[in-house]
Amino acid sequence: IASGHKALYGKVKKRIDYVQDGSTSLDPFGHGTHIAGLIAGLASASSGVTTAYTGGIAPGALLYDVRVLGADGTGLTSDVIDGIDWVIDNAQTYNIRIINLSLGHAVMESSATDPLCLAVKRAVDAGIVVVASAGNRGKTDAGQPILGGITSPGNSPYAITVGALNTFQTVQRSDDSVTTYSSRGPTRFDLAVKPDVVAPGNKVVSLTSPGSYLRTAYPTTHVAGNGSNAYMRLSGS
């Protein structure tokens, strides 16, 4: 998380880095900062800059940045597991109540034996709520729907798995629909009903990590602002 963003002032209380790739940027890829803004960003930061960002859904929350993905957005499952275990070990010390996992890998075995799903179960058994992405594997490159595309650990019965809605930029819910790319169940091997819930995820405006890969490689995602108070539009579950 680029904790220096104006909308995250005082929000990030601690940073743990399991990637240790020598990156000089706190969030070289840019995804974590965008997610952090959706969770706990301050709406006041965007005043006079853009009306497209209205703050996070839990602006009173504090954040613990456990970095498990590299500068290209990929990483090792073992690092993700280590990150979850760090939270379990430190939850009482820092009063951590929720783990957000906006990540996933292909399901290759039952959730009963998948090491990442087992880490999620350990967290839930420790009293921590785990929220996981459903994944963005809802259709083929040709646009055909895919069933069974839920990613791990979203296939865990212990995770609250979230898919993406397209709100069509309107307030009313009558036109909302699950996005075509949002992964759908049933889960592979276990045939469980997932996702558990869906939430707005299409063309959502949140925070930009300065100089990050997403900002540089996809300049059209930029919405407003600059430096430590910039905003971009991304889609995903």
Q: Would you give per-residue pLDDT tens digits along the chain (237 residues)? A: 999 999 999 999 999 999 999 998 999 999 999 999 999 999 999 999 999 999 999 999 999 999 999 999 999 999 999 999 999 999 999 999 999 999 999 999 999 999 999 999 999 999 999 999 999 999 999 999 999 999 999 999 999 999 999 999 898 999 999 999 999 999 999 999 999 999 999 999 999 999 999 999 999 999 999 999 999 999 999
pLDDT reported for residue 38: 98
Give the C-alpha separation, 43 to 67, whole Å: 25
Residue at 153: amino acid letter? P
What whole-number distance in Å separates Cα of residue 56 and Cα of residue 63? 12
Task: Give the Cα separation of 39 and 57 in Å (integer).
Answer: 5
CB 213 within 8 A of CB 165: no
pTM of the model: 0.96
Distance of CA 184 to the CA centre of its chain: 17
Q: Is residue 200 helix, strand or coil?
A: strand
Residue 6 near residue 44 (C-beta atoms within 8 A): no
Q: Tens digits of per-residue pLDDT, 191-227?
A: 999 999 999 999 999 999 999 999 999 999 999 999 9
Sheet holding 229-234, edge to edge: 204-207, 229-234, 222-226
Q: Supply the pLDDT for residue 220.
A: 97
Q: What is the pLDDT of residue 161?
A: 98
The predicted pLDDT at position 169 comes to: 87
User: Residues near 77 by Cβ (< 8 Å), separated by ≥ 6?
Assistant: 105, 115, 116
Distance separating alpha carbons of residues 38 and 170, to the nearest angstrom: 18
The answer to whether 171 touches 209, Cβ cutoff 8 Å, is no
> Which pLDDT score, from 0 to 100, does residue 233 have?
98
Q: Which residues pair with 166 in a beta bridge?
A: 177
Which residue intervals of 66-205 are DSSP H helices? 77-94, 115-125
Residue 24's pLDDT is: 87
